[in-house]
Every structure is written in C-alpha cells, then in structure tokens.
Structure 1
Amino acid sequence: MHYRWIPVLFLLSAVPLDGLATSRWEHMRSKHSWKTIPENWESLGLPPADTMIDLYIALKPYRENALIDALNEVSDPGHTRYGAHLSREQVADIVAPHPDTVQLVHSWLEHHRVLPSSISVTHGGSFLTVTRASVSQANDLLGASYQLYTHTKTNETIIRTLGYSLPVALHGHVQTVAPTTFFSSPLTQWQTPHKRSSVAAVGLGKSPPAELVKMPPSRRITSVTPAFLRWLYNTFAYVPSATDRNVVGITGFAEQYPNPADLTSFMRKYRPDGIDATYVVELYNGAGYDPNNPGLEANIDLQLSEGMSYPTPHIFYSIKASENGDVFLAWLDALLSQESVPQTITTSYGDYEKLHPMEYATQICDLFAQLGARGASVLFSSGDHGIGEGDCKNDDGAVRFTPLFPATCPYVTAVGGTTSFVPEVAASLSGGGFSEYFLRPWYQQQAVYSGLYNPSGRGIPDVAAQAMRIPFFYRGREIIGRGTSCSTPIVAGIISLLNDHRLSQGRPPLGFLNPWLYNGGLNGFNDIVSGSNPGCNTDGFSAIAGWDPVTGLGTPDLEQLLH
C-alpha cells in the first residue's frame, strides 16, 4: 500500500477519481526553458502535422546516490571493492526507479492516451522511452511548443522546444525529458589539417630510440609520429598480450567513417609491425558505414589509437543520432544494453557545457557513470579553443569561461593537449577550466588549487598528450592534424596498454580512471609547467607545477605507470 496517497484520497473523497487524475496532470510547472533561441540556431516554424518523435523520460532512481557510491568504491585504489566492477544487471538494479515512480509516470502517459505498446525501458533501466509520439501529443504532455530548428553553420535540422513543463506531481520522479530544450550538436575537437610538408623539423632534446637515430637529420621528428610518441611516453618496450580480452572502442558521429586502406598506409609507414591492423564496425541506431566516404575525425582517432596500442582489437562505433537529433542517448542506450563493454572508450566530440540544460547534462553524465561502474575507462577531448571562443559574455555582460561537455562530467577523463618535445609545453588550444554544473569531485580535492575562476567546479582536463603536428592518412594522402582529437586517442591507446597489463595478470581493468589518476597514478605523469590556453579575450590559465586547467596532471609515462 502506498501510504503517502492516503491523506489525499481521504480529503478529496468526494471528487470523482477521473477528475482527481485530470487535476493532477493539469497542474504544470516549468522544467526548463531558454529566454531566446540558442546561438547559431534559427527556427523554421512548425513541423509537418504528421511528424513523430521519440521521447526519452529519465526517471530518478529509488536509491539516489547508490550508482555514484558504487562507482567510487570500485574505482578507488584504496577501497576494498576496488576493481569489483558491476554487471549489466547489477547496474540496472542500482539505477532502477521506485515502483511508485514507474506507476505514476505510466498513469500520466495513459492519461494522454499513450499506448502501452509504445513504452519501453532503456538506458540500463533509468529511462522510459515513448516511441513515435506525435508532435501534438508531445506538446500536450510537456506543455511545449515544438518547432523545426536549423543550425546556421552545419545546416543540421532538429525538432526542439524552447521550454517544457511537467505536472508538479512528476517533478520529484522525472529527472529530464529529451528531446526538449537540448540544442547542442557534438562537434569534433580537431583543427584544420595541413599538408605534410608544412611542418618544420624540431630537435628531440634527449636520446631518441634507435629507429629515429637512423633517420637522416632532415627527417627526424618533423611530425609527431607513433615512433616518437612511443618513445616520449615510454611504451616501446611493452608488447600487448591480453588481445583476446582487451578492446578499445572508438565513437564515430556525424557520418564519420574510417577507411581501412588509410589505416594500412598509416601503419605501413609508422608501425610496420602492425601493417595487418584492422577493426570491427558496429552500427547503432540505423547508422551506416561507407569506407569509400571516410571522415577526417574517424581516421585520426582510429590511426592514432592503433598506432599506440597495436595489436589490441578495436571497435569503431558508427552512431546515428535519433530522429530527434540526440546522438549520445542513441549511443549509450545501445552500448549499455550489451552484456560487456570495451575496457577503453575514446571520444573526440563535445560542445560547450552552457548549451546543455543542466538536468539533461546530469543525466547523460550518470550514464557515463554506468559505463565506469561496469569497468570502462571513458575519455573525452577537452576542446580546442582554450578557455573559450569570442568574448564569452553572457546575457548580463559578464565574462563566463566556456568549458566543454561531456569533458566536464566528473565520471569521464578529460584530455588536453601539449606541444614541443622535451620538455613538453601546453598547447595554446588545449581546452580547460571549471564546470558551472558539476562540483569539484572528491578525487580532485587535494590536486586542484584555489584562487582560480570558479574553483569549486569540476576542473578539466585531467591529463594531456601531444596535440600538434600529428600525421595521419586521409583518402590516400598524408596530412598533418592538430587538436585534442589527436591527444585523446593517443592517451586512450596508452590506457589500453595498462588495461592489457592488468588483464594479463588476472586483474580487472582500470575502469573509471580519475580516482586512480589523482592518487595511485599521480607519479606516472610528466608534469607540464609552461604554456597557457588563452581564450575569451584573456590570457587564460597557465601550466604550473602540479595539476592545472591546461594540461591536468600532465602526460603519461607508461613505464612509471606500470610500477
């Protein structure tokens, strides 16, 4: 018996039950709204009358803190449960809503004549999905006004509303609904590539590996090759042996596909021992795979990760956004439904945190926490525009730095960029700063210094790697790229080697990295103490001794991390 409803039924006993239900669902309160259309979007007016959308309803878990508590325990090297990652079923049990929540939401949907056959449980049990609701039905459910919007730079068209509401009775049970006011579109974190010949030669500064010494002086380190990276980050001596269990996952959005011939060309030139490198493609949400129409981002991510971690198996996820334009929900739904997840996942996409409604960002972040609890190390690019583009002024005229999401999520590892060689310095493009949504997590309390802009927020990046003068192959031609799209798969490749080492010894993978990074792994990073990340018409932050919001803890040294 649900005792909390008894007083209400008693006091209103003279009211017909159908009238009581109607009154309950008509008492609405705003959940989120924008004052104006978000930047770079414009309205195309009402969608066609027969337009259908899928609605994702995030339900609050019955045990509110259980997922994060479990994640912290299995990720903290000092905890007795360290490494005891959870199964898909265990996570689903932890994030499950209270039966009262499920019953209440179903009653609301039934009141609006949503067919039970169109309702399903998704995202590890934390969402209800309503398939193919009409726009008019969605407007009624959410007190919304859905319109078509187009992105002025990419021409992407989506269905969104500038505001939505929920019945007051549901505010304590529903975290967020999507798609509603989320207008962001994940952007790749790389900058315009250059032809191979545009890079000047740079000296090493310390003894290089033999294969580099044999090169003519004119060819030594004219770009940041896998041979140089493997020397710089001390991975040369490590040979993966757990290739039957260890996997690297690479996400591909926006119809970005890798090309196997380009991968072979890259490996032939830079990892000749790995000329047979290949990958598996998994298609999500109706996505395609056309290797004859490759994408720069997909090629960068795959080639750099393979160059660092060969012969570790790779899965390329080709992900199509839902019909409503939400790519993260589409991908995470499919991935979390699998029995097992990759030990390392690298993603070079993101957009400014401020463009995401806070409750939506929180829910997506919690889905990444589910991946971490199941043993996945999830890495994201920290961005390529320092602390932000333009003047960064908000509606009140105050300057607000603009860090990227999902990098600001406390349950992923954000990767910044470095340049130069020995010693490395911060790359000026390296995204960094502090979240406006997420408080500083416990694992950063000792590392993140005070006196900075919004120091109470989660600081990014966590780590860094080379992000400039990076060669890769695209449509048979070698070109040079730059950005944290390069540094992120480099770090992912190194993390996959650490996971390989653990698995080969019968130990669990690292899983969510950050508690280990800021404690046990702290001494395995090269501290970066010079350079800065200007932006927002300011000088940005400076790289200093210890953690900083430009290069995080620094760049990895595999030999030190293995000890």
Structure 2
Amino acid sequence: MRITSSCIALLSLYAQRIVALSDVILVKESVEVPEGWVKVGRANVGHTLNLRIGLPQPNFGLLEQHLYEISDPHHERYGNHLSKEEVEALVSPHQTSLDSVDQWLASHGLREIQFTRSPAKDWVSVKVPVAVAETMLNTTFYLWKHLESGDLVVRTTMYSLPRDVHDHIDVIQPTTIFARWKAMATTLHRPGHGDFFKEKSKSKLGAVDVDLSCTEAITVKCLAQLYKTAGYVPKATNKNGLGITGYLEQFANFADLRSFYESQVPEAVNSSFTFFSVNGGLNNQTLDEAGEEAGLDIQFAFGLSYPTPGTFWSTGGRPPFIPDNTAPTNDNEPYADWLDFVLKQGKIPQTISTSYADHEQTVPEAYARRVCRGFAQLGARGVSVLFASGDGGVSDGNSDPKTQQCFSNDGKNTYKFLPMFPPSCPYVTSVGGTFGIPEVAVPFSGGGFSYYFAQPPYQKSAVASYLSKLPPGHYDGLYNREGRGFPDVSAQSYPFQTWWKGEALLLGGTSASSPVVAAVVALLNDARLAKNLPPLGFLNPLLYSKGVNGFNDITEGNNVGCGTLGFNVRLSCLGLQSLTFPYFKATAGWDPVTGLGTPDFLKLKKLFT
C-alpha cells in the first residue's frame, strides 16, 4: 500500500492536533478565600499532600432511585436494603474514566503501586510533594493561617486539569477546601442561661409528666420520660448498633463515661464501647485531654439506648498549630476519610450520629456533593445517618453572636442566611434543638435552606406548607426557597448534665440533640430487629410521611442569628436596618427551626413495627 506525501502530512497534522488538545488546560475549580483566613506564604515544595481524586459516578442516579424506593414505607421494596457489593457496583466509574486518570497520573511519574483505591474505585488517593501537585494541577499552593485558631493549612484557590482528563474527574482535595468542621457543643456556664431555662420550665411543668429535677438539668431519666423510652428493654442487642463519630482531637473518655453511668445509668457502669481509629485518630485516655464534645455525645447516646452496643470512631485530620511549622501534615478532610473507612466495612452500626459541621459556603460544592453521596451509600445499606443542625440559628453555625458572619464569601459580600453542611445534605437526617418543658424551639437551633442541594421530593409538601405561611416578601433573597430545608426533627438541647475531665457540668447544643434522637432511632431499630424486620435505614422519606404522627409538634419559639450592635451598624450602612435579628419561627407542621418536632418513642414504635 502506497502512502502519499500529502497523506503523511495530514496524519502529521492530525497527530499534532491530538497532542494540542491534550495540552489544553481547563480550570476545574476556583474559590474565594473564606473570611478569617490569611495567606502566610508559598507552601514548602517538599511538603507531602495526600491527593484524593474523585472519579465520576455515572450510575448514582440509579443508586438514588434505589435509596428512595427502599426508604419509602409505601413502596413494595421498602426495607430491602442493598448489600455492600451492590452499592459499590452502582457508584463505580466507567472504565474510560479509570484509564484516563491512570494515564494522567502515569504522565507525572506515578505508578499503580503508589495508588490507594476505594472498593468501588470511585476514589483514588496518591501522596505527592507540593512541587508535583503544582505541576499536575497547574496551580500554586500557599500556606494559610486561620486567624481565630491559628491553624495552618496548605491550600490553593484554583486548580486546572488537561482537557482529556477534565471530565473524568469530579473533584480533587485537599486543594480548595477551607472548612474547619466545628463541633456543635455549647458550654452553658454563661450567666443567665440556666436561670432562663428553669423559669421557662417551671411555668408549665405540670402539663408534662416529667420529674421536677428536669427543670434544673436534663438527664437520661428526663429524656426517657419526655420521649417515652422509659421502661423499654432492648431485645436485639446481638443484631443492633449505635455509632458516634469524633473529630478534631476529640477523645471519648472511659473514666468520664463511667462517672456518668454511676450518676445516671448505674446498670451500665461496667459497660463500654468499641473504638476505631481512622486516619490516625487518637484515643488519649488522660482526663486532661478528654473531649467535651465526644463526652456529651457518647454519654447520652449510649446511656439512653443502653444496652445497645456502641461504637466510637476517632478520625484524624485537623492540622495542629505549631508556630515554627511550615509544613502541617494533616489534610482536614475528615468526612471523606471517615466515609472511606466505614464504607469498606462489611458490618456497620445501623444508626450513626455526628455533631460536627461548618457553613455550607466554606465547603467547595463539588466536594460537598461527593461527601453527601457517600452518606447516600450508607442509607442504601440500611444505615440511619444523623447530623446536628448547628448552633448559630440562621448564621454560620457560631453560637457567639459577637463573631457570627452572615455574608457570602464569593467575593460579592452578599448579606444572606448561611446554611450548614452536612446537615444540608438531603441524604442525612438533620436534628435541631428545643428546650424547656413543655418544649419550645431553642434560639440557637440551626435551620434554613441549602444553596447546593435542591429540595428533595420527600419534603416538598411540608416545606411548601411552611413557606405559604410566611408574610409576603418575608426575607426574600436571603435564603433559597427551592433548597433542601433543615432540620428534619429536633430534641432537647440544653442544659445536659454531663461529665468532663472528671467533673460534672452542664453542656448543650444541637450536638446533644442529635445523639438523643439517634438513641431513640436505635431503640426503634431494636424493636424492629426483634421482630425480624429490617432496620429503618435512611429515615427521611419515612419521617415525612408515615412518621409525622409520631412526633411532638413544636409550635413556639424561633431561631436567631447575626444580631449584634456592630452587625446592626454594618446593616444600616447597607440600607438593611429592617433585617436586624433575622430568624425563622416554629409553627404547626414542619419548620426550619425544629423540623417535624421531637420524637415520641411509643407512637413511633407503633407506627414502625
């Protein structure tokens, strides 16, 4: 066969065009630096980054369909949860994506032996020096400092990928993520809080069958009386489990738990929980390093659900501040690390509670969506995932009004309500807060509407009903009326009588509410498993339909946020004087303060078993 010179020229031109296309670099992600972070200088080029590369999940829509069908009590497939292998098959990327990413990594000298893959191969992790990462991502990494805490991170504000691999990668982190995943615990030693609680409770205590002592502090006994779990004896402890996650060097202390049990659950004194370390998470058992948040979570979750077996995960991932350290080693990406670990397990506790979050806008949207999809995988496997809704009302999750922020970080400085993530994820159950007896909404209860996630079908009717009750123009433009509304439910949030560092003290926050609801869910799972029924799994489609009648509707109170004198002055400069002290009100039915209300175990048990 004779090839003409003109043909050779055309082939050469075509080959050059192919090379040119592969050399085209496209921006993959770009973010504004959140308020409170300052650039320190160029990152040490020798510092090691553990890059987590998320590949597309082309069949996630099918997984979501399965999730909604098996979680809908009116669907014929209700309760038919998927296996680990079935879930992995539904989130696996196409082979073309795997090949393209492998070839791209190989072009930078990275071999298969250096990769770590998730079971579904939808995540690839590889450790590289900053110098290599900068070449791979066509970017520059800097050292950033968080002014309030002093934490240091290595980050960039933008990265790019070659055109031929661009569509085969969803996200790469840690690159643009500045979230800090704050704990939701609120110390209640501040003057006035306890007195306000007691005054509110004593005024109507006679209307509720709860001990008078519950006006002084919330205990396991108070919660059992309020939510009707008193007298229930778990029967399926060999099948059931309840898990609590811990982050930010929070250690669940065995000695504090024993002291708590001695004072409130004496029958549990000789019991404990299973511990797992994730990504270098520590288990320091010295009392002076006991975790305030971790202690509150495990004591009330495990105490209220005793003797249901408990699990605690300690997940590493916050860079410690060392003044002369220019190369922090942790990546501050705890949810993805925890999901990596737990999704690999064949057996997972059927109920899991987390009391850590950050405002949604500090989490890059692509990363938030991938993490949210990880929670959907847990739901499809029959796990109920609960998150505290936050302690800042409609603000940024910060319960201290002096430092609350209610402005966008997209460079436009737009005044707006700031939802929390992961509570805004539609595949988790978000838990708000109440207080008093009878219960009303606690002012710091986090709630609102997501900017990232659309309103899921299970809550459209409930949210539409709430929005129809708002006055015309009520806070228009300050929240996303089409977004996922949260919280979904609520529970008591303070003051909880807990033990920390060997002493009894009062703590609270929605971080107390979430483990309380999780304990009730664990007991409901126990009742189901004892009858050989499957666990509840992803709760929300059930709660917003069949479960509505199993909650105490909270119709009084509101959440607040952004209400300080300095903030008001700033608003007046913007011509927004009328928007001082923004809030949502609790109403009949669902509301973005207390959700559907607080649980009544006996009613829910009757409905669900």
1:393 partnered with 2:407: yes
What are the equivalent positions in structure 2 for 1:196-235 lying under 5 Å apart?
199-200=194-195, 201=198, 202-203=201-202, 204-206=205-207, 208=209, 212=211, 219=213, 221-235=215-229
Partner of 1:152: 147
**Residue 189 of structure 1: aligned partner:** 184
1:562 aligns with 2:598: no
Partner of 1:489: 515
Deviations 1:536-563 (A, max 9, x none): 3433100000000000000000000011
Matched with 2:574 is none
State how far apart, in whole Å, the 1-side matches of 2:262 and 2:101 are: 56
Which residue of structure 2 aligns with residue 544 of structure 1?
A: 587
| SS of residue in 2 equivalent to 1:534 | coil
What amino acid is the match of 1:498? L
CA distance in 2, matches of 1:560, 1:372: 23
SS of the residue corresponding to residue 205 of structure 1 reads helix
2:583 partner amino acid: G
Question: RMSD of the alignment, in Å?
Answer: 2.1
Q: Are the counterparts in 1 of residues 185 and 292 from structure 2 also a CA contact under 8 Å?
A: no
Native 8 Å contact 1:88 1:340 kept in 2: no
Match of 1:162 in 2: 157
CA offset at residue 481 of structure 1?
A: 0.9
Letter in 2 for 1:554: G
Question: In structure 1, which of residues 351, 360, 371 is the aligned counterpart of residue 358 of structure 2?
Answer: 351
Contact residue 188 and residue 194 of structure 2 kept, 8 A: no
Report if the CA contact (8 A) 1:124-1:336 is conserved.
Answer: no
* 1:303 aligned onto 2:317: no
1:528 shift after superposition: 0.5
Corresponding residue of 1:431: 446
- The 2-side partners of 1:25 and 1:173 are apart by 13
Matched to 2:59, the amino acid is R
The aligned residue for residue 400 of structure 2 is: none
In the TM superposition, what whole-angstrom CA distance separates every residue of 1:99-121 from its partner, at most 9, and x where no partner exists?
11111111111222222211232
1:176 paired to 2:171: yes
Q: Deviations over 1:454-501 (max 9, x none)?
A: 221000000000012111001121111121011111111101001111
Counterpart residue number, 1:513? 539
Structure 1 window deviating more from structure 2 (107-116 vs 232-241): it is 107-116
Determine the structure 2 residue equivalent to 1:384: 391
Q: Does 1:418 find its partner at 2:437? A: no
The residue number in structure 2 matching 1:47 is 43
Structure 1 residue 85, shift from structure 2 partner: 1.2
Once the 2 structures are TM-superposed, how far is the Cα of residue 397 of structure 1 from its aligned partner? Answer: 4.6
| Whole-Å separation in 2 of the counterparts to 1:280 and 1:454 | 41
Query: Any unmatched runs of 5+ in structure 1?
Result: 1-9
- For 1:55-70, what aligned pairs fall within 5 Å after superposition? 55-70=51-66
Cα distance, 1:275 vs structure 2: 2.2
SS in 2 for 1:65: helix
> Which sits farther off after the overlay, 402-411 or 447-456?
447-456
Q: Structure 1 residues 401, 11: closer, same or farther in 2, change over 3 A?
A: farther
Check 1:426–1:181 CA distance in 2 against 1; reply closer, same or farther (3 A cut): same
Partners in 2 of 1:81 and 1:144 — Cα distance? Answer: 48
Distance (Å, rounded) in 2 between the aligned partners of 1:27 and 1:337: 37
Mapped contact 2:382–2:537 kept (Cα < 8 A) = yes
Q: Name the counterpart of 1:6.
A: none
User: Which residues of structure 2 form unaligned runs of 5+?
Assistant: 1-7, 318-328, 397-403, 471-478, 563-579
Task: Name the CA distance, whole Å, in 2 between partners of 1:228 and 1:101.
Answer: 54
* TM-score (ref. length: structure 1): 0.92
How much does 1:16 deviate?
Answer: 7.9
CA distance in 2, matches of 1:228, 1:461: 23
Are the structure 2 counterparts of residues 362 and 477 from structure 1 closer, same or farther at C-alpha, using a change threshold of 3 Å? Answer: same
Whether the 8 Å CA contact 1:123–1:332 is kept in 2: the answer is no
SS in 2 for 1:510: coil
**Cα distance change on mapping 1:21 and 1:157 into 2, 3 Å:** farther
Aligned-partner residue type, residue 413 of structure 1: T
Distance 1:518 1:471, change over 3 A: same
- How many Å apart are 1:21 and its aligned residue? 6.2
1:497-526 superposed Cα distances (whole Å, 9 cap, x missing partner) = 011111111111111111111011111000
- 1:441 and 2:456 correspond: yes
1:374 aligns with 2:375: no
Deviation digits for residues 341-372 of structure 1 (CA, Å, limit 9, x no counterpart) = 11000100000001111111101100111111
Distance of aligned partners of 1:198 and 1:54 in 2 relative to their CA distance in 1, 3 Å threshold: closer
Instruction: Tell me how far 1:22 sits from its aligned partner.
Output: 4.4
CA contact (8 A) 2:57 2:91 kept: yes
Report which stretch shifted further, 507-516 or 321-330: 321-330
Counterpart contact for 1:382–1:461, Cα < 8 Å: yes
CA distance in 2, matches of 1:368, 1:30: 28
Q: Counterparts of 1:41 and 1:226 in 2: how far apart (Å)?
A: 40
Deviations 1:366-390 (A, max 9, x none): 0111111111110101110100054
Checking the alignment, whether the CA contact within 8 Å between 1:75 and 1:511 is kept in structure 2 is: yes
Contact 2:208 2:437 in 1 (8 A): no
Query: Do the aligned residues in 1 keep the contact of 2:560 with 2:584 (CA within 8 Å)?
Result: yes
Q: Does 1:335 align with 2:355?
A: no
Would you say the 8 A contact 1:196–1:471 is kept in 2? no
Structure 1 residues 116 and 21: alpha-carbon distance in aligned structure 2, compared to 1, 3 A threshold: farther
In 1, Cα distance between equivalents of 2:277 and 2:125: 20
- 3-state SS of the aligned residue for 1:305? helix
> Paired residue for 1:71, among 61, 67, 70?
67
Q: TM-score, normalised to structure 2's length?
A: 0.86
Q: Structure 2 CA distance, aligned partners of 1:39 and 1:373?
A: 37
Deviation at 1:64, TM superposition (A): 4.1
**Matched residue, 2:27:** 30
Query: Amino acid of the residue matched to residue 411 of structure 1?
Result: Y
For the pair 1:119 / 2:145, whether they are aligned, the reply is no
Asked if 1:408 is matched to 2:408, the reply is no
- Report what 1:265 is aligned to: 259
CA distance in 2, matches of 1:243, 1:313: 7
Q: Structure 2 vs 1, CA of residues 555 and 156 (structure 1 numbering), >3 Å: closer, same or farther?
A: same
1:7 aligned residue: none
Which residue of structure 2 aligns with residue 14 of structure 1?
A: 12
Equivalent residue pairs, number = 543
1: distance between equivalents of 2:271 and 2:297? Answer: 14
Change (3 A) 1:224 1:171: same
Distance 2:11 2:389 in 1: 57
Counterpart amino acid of residue 372 in structure 2: C
Kept in 2, the 8 Å contact 1:305–1:493? The answer is yes
One-letter amino acid of the counterpart of residue 584, structure 2 = F
Counterpart code for 2:391: D
Task: Give the superposition deviation at 1:47.
Answer: 2.4
Deviation at 1:334, TM superposition (A): 0.7
Shift of 1:123: 6.2
Q: 2:232 is matched with which residue: 238, 250, 259?
A: 238
Pairing partner for 1:478 from 488, 498, 504: 504
* 2:525 aligned residue: 499
1:529 aligns with 2:555: yes
